[in-house]
Structures are given as structure tokens and as C-alpha cells.
Chains A and B, each alone.
Chain A
Amino acid sequence: MIPPSAAGSLLSELRIGARIDEIAVATSWLGDLADAGDWPQSTRFGLELSLEEALTNVISYGFAGLAHDPDIRIECWRTPQDRIVVRIRDNGVAFDPTTIAAPDVPASIEEAKIGGHGVQLMRNFLESLSYERADGENRLTLVGKPDQD
């Protein structure tokens, strides 16, 4: 986890509701930042994809059975090393996606599991993915790839 003080400059922050239709609000917010900052295509695609996958997990599973109000906050930073970093904080149940193993590649379509690819995609399309649980929050940090692969 990059501490906020060392994370460089905060480009923008967004708070969304715990509803599936809010995911598009978040990815389009990120898309606007990518346009404004002229990010490399691989940075933009990887971060948009990872934000989509992370929020899908948080919103689908993070708040089931909880009594308190959901709070989901997203920040976008540019680091001194010129990396784009997206941090997602939520007060849902503790869930560390970095512990999820990649699904096995099946021998045939009959044996293929149709789900479980979200975390695998985040790993493949980011420079790094890190998680921390603190103050009753999940904090997921997505660091974008600087350029093509």
C-alpha cells in the first residue's frame, strides 16, 4: 500500500453507492481522467478493467448482511514515478482479492469454469495489486502499467 503522503498528487476522488449501476459511473470517471491526462492505452485499459472487477466484487459480496451503511470511496493518484494509482476503500466485509488463486486452465470447454477470472485479470493488467485491512476498511491499491506491457 502506498501511503497517501508518498503517493504523489491526488488527481480526483469519487464516492459511489453500493449498486451495480454505480460501477459504470466509476469507470467513466476514470475514463475522463485518462482522457484529460493522456494516459497510455495499456494504463487506461488495465486500470478501468481492474476497477470494474474490484467494484463488482465489493458491490456484489461486500455488504450482504451488514447493518451499517455502505461507504465506497475511490481515489486516483499520480505518483512521483509517473505511475497512475487507483485506491478503493470500502467498509464492507474483509476480503483480500490478492489471496485468490488463478483458476486452472481446463483441458476442454466442457470442464471450463465460467467464472473466477476477475482477480486473474487484475494481476495480468496491472503493475501491482495490493491489499490492506485497516480501521474497518478494505483498502485495495491498483498500480497501472506505465506503458505497453
Chain B
Amino acid sequence: MKIETTELGNQVTLAALAGRLDIAGAGAVEAQFAAAAREASVVVVDLSGVTFLASIGIRLLLANAKALTRRSGHMILYGCDPQVEKVLRSTGVDQLIAIVATREEAVGRAGTLVPGGGPA
């Protein structure tokens, strides 16, 4: 499991996850993911490299979305594999965290959530 974080500017961070978000994978990325969620106003999460998502991965997403919300921040997910998206929808995560199809939509949405219009 890998994570790569990129600051897109204006308090928006892109976190690209890749691999299996199972109990081992979640453990490997949780510290860096939490650090990104502590520092940004909006975390845009690229799930296009995630091939498997278990409940521990849902826990990781919800815990950090919650932390962001406490600071009036937001999380946006995009690029879900169909089975991964089914996991998110069947557990109601889609009611709590925005899910969009593409990076363009995610970054566009981020721009409406931060003062000054999002990434430069």
C-alpha cells in the first residue's frame, strides 16, 4: 500500500492511495494520511489505485473525514473501482463523504469549498 500526497495550493491536498486498503495496507498509510488531513482544509483522495477496500479502510477514511470536519474542512473521494465504490455505498460512506468520478470534478468541488477558489 502506497500513499503520495501533493499540495495543490490554497489549503487543498491531493492524497493518492494505491494498493489494497486492508488491515496491513491501512496500517502502512494511516500516519501520512492523518498528517495530510491535519494540515489541509480539503483533502482530495485519489482511489484509482485502490483495488480492495475492507472495513479498516472505511475506518481510516471516516476517522480522517471526521477530523477534517471538526476543523470545518472537507474530504472528497474520486476514481473508485466499481467494487470499491460498492463497499463505500453499501456502508453509507457516500452519505457522509463526497464521491465524484474524476480528478477534475474533485478539484473543481474543492475549489468551491475553500476561500479564494481552490488550487491555483
CB within 8 Å of B: which residues of A?
A: 20-21, 23-24, 27, 41-42, 45, 48-49, 52-53, 56, 105-106, 108-110, 112, 114-118, 120-121, 124-125
Q: List 23 A-B contacts (CB under 8 A).
A: A23-B23, A24-B24, A41-B83, A42-B83, A45-B52, A45-B83, A52-B54, A53-B55, A56-B54, A56-B55, A56-B56, A105-B92, A109-B62, A109-B65, A109-B97, A110-B66, A110-B69, A115-B59, A117-B59, A120-B91, A121-B54, A125-B86, A125-B90
Q: A23 with B24: in contact, given A109-B69, A117-B58 (CB under 8 Å)?
A: yes
Main secondary structure of the interface of A (DSSP, over half): helix
Expressed in whole angstroms, the minimum distance between the Cβ of B51 and any Cβ of chain A is 9
B residues 40-61 in Cβ contact with A at 8 Å:
52, 54-56, 58-59
CB-CB < 8 A to B96: which residues of A? 106, 108-109, 112
Expressed in whole angstroms, the minimum distance between the Cβ of A123 and any Cβ of chain B is 9
Taken together as a complex, chains A and B put the C-alpha atoms of A124 and B65 apart, in Å, by 24
What size tier do the contact residues of chain B reach?
Answer: 20 to 34
By the criterion CB–CB under 8 Å, are A49 and B97 in contact? no
Taken together as a complex, chains A and B put the C-alpha atoms of A108 and B65 apart, in Å, by 11
Residue of A nearest to B68 (CB): A109
CB-CB < 8 A to B65: which residues of A? 109
Q: A109 with B55: in contact, given A20-B23, A120-B90, A121-B90 (CB under 8 Å)?
A: no
Taken together as a complex, chains A and B put the C-alpha atoms of A53 and B53 apart, in Å, by 11
CB-CB < 8 A to B66: which residues of A? 109-110, 112, 114
- Is B95 in contact with chain A by the CB < 8 A criterion? yes
In the complex, given contacts A20-B24, A49-B54, A121-B55, what are 12 additional A-B residue pairs having Cβ atoms less than 8 angstroms apart? A20-B23, A23-B23, A41-B83, A49-B87, A56-B55, A109-B62, A114-B58, A114-B66, A116-B55, A117-B59, A118-B54, A124-B90
* Top 3 closest pairs, chain A to chain B, by CB: A105-B92, A117-B55, A118-B55
Expressed in whole angstroms, the minimum distance between the Cβ of B55 and any Cβ of chain A is 4
